[in-house]
Every structure is written in structure tokens, then in C-alpha cells.
């Protein structure tokens, strides 16, 4: 039996009249999705229009009209976009069999519990483990959480540190700026990736300058990193898995191409590597729309997921790190570098 489970952790048609009390024409939102979605050029919009019109005709409640937009996401195979109406999110959620569902639920629960909580630990004297879950932050909190992440890293790393394990396995996304700026000392290039739009043009570029994140020319954070050590060349293990999604996946993608870096674990969540933007259509109506595919510093496009260099299924143990199979493999790789 298949069941739906929610993976997001933070979480114009000619219909001229207002539909079911929603204070905006549904055709306006439909046309906006059609124009801006990253999937717009591969979609059969004539077919989608017919189905959307039919659902609008049958709508008896405002929620029925909102679900007509979810139908559009379904036809686009878009899992990352969502409609927010009256403080509730509506989206096209993936469907899993029971065994996969049972595997993911504990990870989702842990991800929710640890959102915004960064932990670090010294492993075998000379290696640092840094866990970065999702971050929910807006306004001044963007820099606040980025600073908190930076401080966690800087408080543990020393001149004797031989390698770092960056754990993104329970990173369900959220505020990318806080994440990227928080680990800024680890980057070895200014340009770290961005997003390509539905016209196949790179419309967003991420840069690290003076330890902070810039999106195109706009500075997103104002962090001061405590360490004076050069961490840009330190060996780095990035752990990823099926709950790594959204900006968690994008954070991983920005580290692709970094020297002395390996990705270990499982594929990130399928369909959650898009860059999204938030659009409001009223006081209680907003759209979080996938408008770009992520690209890394070499402009490689990631349309579905981020794949590890070494695949290790299962074996996660967040309470006893020394028994965690992915961490064990990461330490093995780091030690092999130090023998050279």
C-alpha cells in the first residue's frame, strides 16, 4: 500500500470571476505558474488547462480551488512548489511504499526536532563532525543563525584539525543564506553555484565574499568568522541522504567541485534541487514556486537530486557517531588522505 508523506520541513485560464471566496482570480495564478515555472517548457499546457478548468468548475469551497493549483503541480511533476493559503500549505507530495515510508519517518522527525540546532564533536582527536540541519530564519535572524553556525564550526576547529565531516542528512532546507554563510570558511572559490531559469540562462549566482553570501550583487548576511585558519583546503566529507532537500541539497551542490571533498551516503530527495522564490497574491495567499534548477560552480545542472560519490544505504546512528556507517566511511577516507 502506498501512502503520502510530507517531505517539506519548513513548510491564465479564462475564469474571469473570483472563485470560492479567494480574493484573486485563479487564472492569474495559473498564468503566473505557466510563465515562471522551471518546468514550463516541458509541460503540455493545453492538457493541463483542460484539467484545471474542470476542477475550477467543480470547486465548491475555497480549498477546492487551491487544490486545482496543486493539480497543476502534479502535472508538472513538481514536488517542491507549494501554495500557502490561510496559514496552511498545499503541495504535490511524493508517494512511497510502506518500507520506504517507515525508513524516512524517523529521519523526518529528527530533522524537525533539530531544525536550527547545530552540533559539533571531535572525532578521534583530529577530525571534526559538524551537523547542519535545516534553518527557519527571516530578516535579522538570517545573519543570526549564520553566525551561530559559524561559531559552532570555529569553536571546534584548530590548527591540528585534519578533516571535517559535514552532515547534511537531516537538512530539510529553509534559509540557504544562513547555511552557506555559516560554513563560508570552508569554500575554496568565490563563485559557488546558482540557478538556471526556464530560458536556460543562469539567472542567479552565489558568491562568497569576505566570509558572507552574495546572491548576484546583493549581500545576504553580515557574519564575522572567529577563526583565522585557512579552511578552504582542509579535506571535507559531505554526508547526504533522502531527507536532504531544498536548500539542504543546494548547500551540498555548492560544495561540488571543491578540492579534497567527497560526498558519502544516499541520493538526496528526488525533485527538491530547484531554487524557489516566494510570491504573494494577497494577505493570506502565497506561492513558493520552483523557478530555477540548481547549478554548481562548474555550471553542472542538477534537475532531480544530488548523488553521492560513495553510496552507503542505511547505517545511520545519530546518537552513537562511532557506529554510524557513513561517518566510519568518511573517517576512513580522511585518514587515507593523511597517509599520503
Q: Parallel, antiparallel, or unpaired for β 82-85 and 88-91?
A: antiparallel
Rounded to an integer, the average pLDDT of 312-319 is 95
CATH number for 119: 3.90.226.10
Is residue 81, in this structure, part of any structural domain at all? Answer: yes
198 and 217 in a single domain? The answer is yes
175 and 222 in a single domain? The answer is yes
325 and 177 in a single domain? The answer is yes
b/e sequence 212-241, b meaning 16+ C-beta within 10 Å: bbbbeeeebbebebebeeebbebbbbbbbb
Is residue 142, in this structure, part of any structural domain at all? Answer: yes
241 and 196 in a single domain? The answer is yes
Q: Identify whether the C-beta of residue 166 lies closer than 8 Å to the C-beta of residue 261.
A: no
What is the count of structural domains for the chain?
A: 2
The model's pLDDT over 299-310, given as tens digits with 9 standing for 90+, comes to 999 999 999 999
Containing domain of residue 156, as a range? 98-274+292-338
**Is this model's pTM higher than 0.85 or not?**
yes
The model's pLDDT over 189-230, given as tens digits with 9 standing for 90+, comes to 999 999 999 999 999 999 999 999 999 999 999 999 999 999
Q: Identify whether the C-beta of residue 223 lies closer than 8 Å to the C-beta of residue 207.
A: no
Of 70, 96, 122, which residue constitutes the final position of a domain? 96
Amino acid at each position: 500500500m502506498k501512502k503520502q508523506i510530507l517531505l517539506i520541513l519548513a513548510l491564465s485560464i479564462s475564469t474571469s470571476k473570483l472563485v470560492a471566496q479567494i480574493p484573486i482570480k485563479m487564472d492569474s495564478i495559473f498564468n503566473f505558474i505557466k510563465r515562471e515555472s522551471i518546468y514550463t517548457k516541458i509541460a503540455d499546457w493545453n492538457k493541463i488547462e483542460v484539467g484545471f478548468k474542470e476542477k475550477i468548475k467543480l470547486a465548491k469551497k475555497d480549498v477546492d480551488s487551491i487544490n486545482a493549483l496543486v493539480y497543476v503541480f502534479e502535472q508538472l511533476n513538481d514536488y517542491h512548489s507549494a501554495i500557502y493559503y490561510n496559514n496552511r500549505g498545499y503541495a504535490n507530495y511524493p508517494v512511497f511504499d510502506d518500507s520506504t515510508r517507515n525508513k524516512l519517518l524517523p529521519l523526518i522527525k529528527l530533522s524537525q526536532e533539530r531544525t536550527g540546532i547545530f552540533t559539533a564533536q571531535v572525532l578521534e582527536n583530529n577530525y571534526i563532525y559538524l551537523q547542519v540541519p535545516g534553518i527557519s530564519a527571516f530578516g535579522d535572524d538570517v545573519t543570526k543563525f549564520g553566525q551561530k553556525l559559524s561559531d559552532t564550526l570555529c569553536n571546534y576547529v584548530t590548527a591540528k584539525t585534519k578533516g571535517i565531516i559535514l552532515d547534511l542528512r537531516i537538512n530539510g532546507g529553509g534559509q540557504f543564506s544562513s547555511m552557506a554563510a555559516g560554513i563560508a570558511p570552508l569554500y575554496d572559490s568565490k563563485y559557488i553555484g546558482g540557478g538556471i531559469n526556464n530560458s536556460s540562462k543562469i539567472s542567479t549566482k552565489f558568491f562568497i565574499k569576505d566570509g558572507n553570501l552574495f546572491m548576484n550583487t546583493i549581500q545576504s548576511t553580515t557574519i564575522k568568522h572567529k577563526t583565522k585558519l585557512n579552511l578552504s583546503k582542509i579535506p571535507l566529507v559531505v554526508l547526504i541522504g533522502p531527507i536532504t532537500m531544498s536548500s539542504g541539497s543546494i548547500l551540498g551542490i555548492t560544495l561540488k567541485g571543491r578540492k579534497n571533498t567527497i560526498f558519502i551516503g544516499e541520493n538526496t530527495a528526488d525533485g527538491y534541487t530547484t531554487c524557489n522564490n516566494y510570491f504573494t497574491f494577497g494577505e493570506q495567499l502565497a506561492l513558493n514556486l520552483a523557478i530555477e534548477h540548481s547549478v554548481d560552480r562548474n555550471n553542472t545542472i542538477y534537475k532531480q537530486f544530488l548523488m553521492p560519490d560513495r553510496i552507503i544505504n542505511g547505517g545511520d546512528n545519530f546518537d552513537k557517531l562511532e557506529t554510524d556507517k557513513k561517518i566510519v566511511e568518511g573517517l576512513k577516507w580522511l585518514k587515507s588522505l593523511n597517509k599520503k
